[in-house]
Chain A
């Protein structure tokens, strides 16, 4: 059965929208449980088996809360902000591949499109901060803008390393190039930069400076309540899911690595199931790593954060790109030599800073 392309895309988008909502509910539950167990608590236990119905209950509670708009707020900006935060993040799912065929549309510009849309929600956060007419919200908004644009650069440069090596922007092609060796091993520096920068892009601890409770009491979200507030939360977890899925695709070999069923070995549905299983394992593993970091690391100060972005991550992401490009043009040996030299250099800097 084949549908017209646009109807097919619409059906797929609708399914993806529901999957994203469901995944967000599950992720919030997992985060609370992981954090609780790191802190030797039990977490939610009362609603359903081991508190499994806690997030749906919270969602219903948020739905029937009064939705307030401050009197002095810039009404249009205030009310438009949730849309501008959520929609760009939702649009990333247009080309995020769950497996080779479980994707809304495998765009040729794939990864470039994702880089573009992953940074667009900064406009929404800035609008939320400005529109709230609140000191804390405004400070949080400009902090969010400064942080997100600063970490956007190393993120894009880390991804450029992958693009140079694979010579393609298409996510499906990038994954298929990794059937032998995942880019995790070819781009060790790139993976580190990507992980740190995307943590900051997601404003997760230790980079949750825009919404730091003890400094700006929730930042741009101070004045939001009820459903409007929960749309920001929805967007945050959806972008966490999206980023983990991208990392799984471009560094961990997506749905194929470590082994994919060869043609004829499994019939259609079993092969699909195998792909989805790999995807879920990798994505969930990365997401739990993010939760683990939140449970472990304290928040950075904003000067440490900006200094780290511009003085460490950006120069190192340049080095990453130069080494990869040189290896593509002049032969793969440069890659190995380059990573060894970079590792040695970083170690020397570390030793010097310890004195």
Chain B
């Protein structure tokens, strides 16, 4: 890994700057062109026509979203492991294949457990 390797990725940083600059300049343009007239009701929360309740409108939502997020984290970490494995599988051959299948089997068992426990069911 030479010193120049990281410079290959300089467009990535330029991309962040250019993308943010694009959004920023569009918003700036809108700020210069668009009218700005403040009225009390314009700043009210949209509630399909009825007046909003005083205070914040953050409401409860189901804990199920959280369970899905945890399940996702486990499997996403697995994909991070699998990408390097996938690249060199052809050279590593048999051993790497069996090892990754064991890893996959353990995680599939986890998915089957979550399934059995009813985590994947939306209605209960």
Contact = CB atoms under 8 A, between A and B. Distances in A.
Are these two chains actual partners, yes or no?
yes
Contact of A66 (B35, B59, B76, B101): B35
- Give the interface size class of chain B: 35 or more
Contact of B88 (A105, A167, A311): A167
Contacts of A63: 26, 29-30, 33-34
A90 B61 contact: no
Contacts of A135: 47, 57, 59
A8 B119 CA distance: 50
A189 interface: no
A162 B72 CA distance: 22
Given A152-B72, A307-B120, A70 B45 contact: yes
A5 B13 CA distance: 13
For the residues of A in contact with B, the DSSP-based class is helix
Nearest to A14: B18
B3 interface: no
Given A68-B42, A167-B91, 12 more contacts: A5-B10, A9-B10, A63-B29, A65-B30, A66-B36, A93-B15, A112-B83, A115-B79, A138-B57, A146-B65, A157-B79, A167-B89
Nearest to B29: A63
For the residues of B in contact with A, the DSSP-based class is helix
Contact of B45 (A133, A231, A314, A322): A133
Given A9-B14, A13-B15, A104-B11, A227 B79 contact: no
Interface in B96-119: 97, 100-101, 104, 108, 111, 115
A145 B69 contact: yes
A71 interface: yes
A293 interface: no
Interface stretch (A47-55, A80-88, A244-252): A80-88
A109 B82 CA distance: 14
B122 A329 contact: no
B19 A87 contact: yes
A78 to B, nearest CB: 12
Contacts, number: 211
Contact of A72 (B42, B56, B87): B56
A303 B68 contact: no
B61 A160 contact: no
B44 A70 contact: yes
Contacts of A142: 61, 65
A152 to B, nearest CB: 7
B34 A90 contact: no
B19 A91 contact: yes
Contacts of B90: 167, 328-329
Contacts of B93: 329
Contacts of B108: 315, 318
A150 B122 contact: no
A274 interface: no
21 contacts: A6-B10, A6-B11, A62-B30, A67-B34, A83-B20, A87-B23, A91-B15, A112-B83, A136-B46, A145-B65, A146-B69, A163-B86, A163-B87, A169-B87, A227-B26, A227-B34, A228-B27, A315-B108, A321-B104, A329-B89, A329-B97
Interface in A1-46: 5-6, 9-10, 12-14, 17
- The CB with the most chain B CB atoms within 10 A, among A71, A303, A314, is that of A71
B123 A94 contact: no
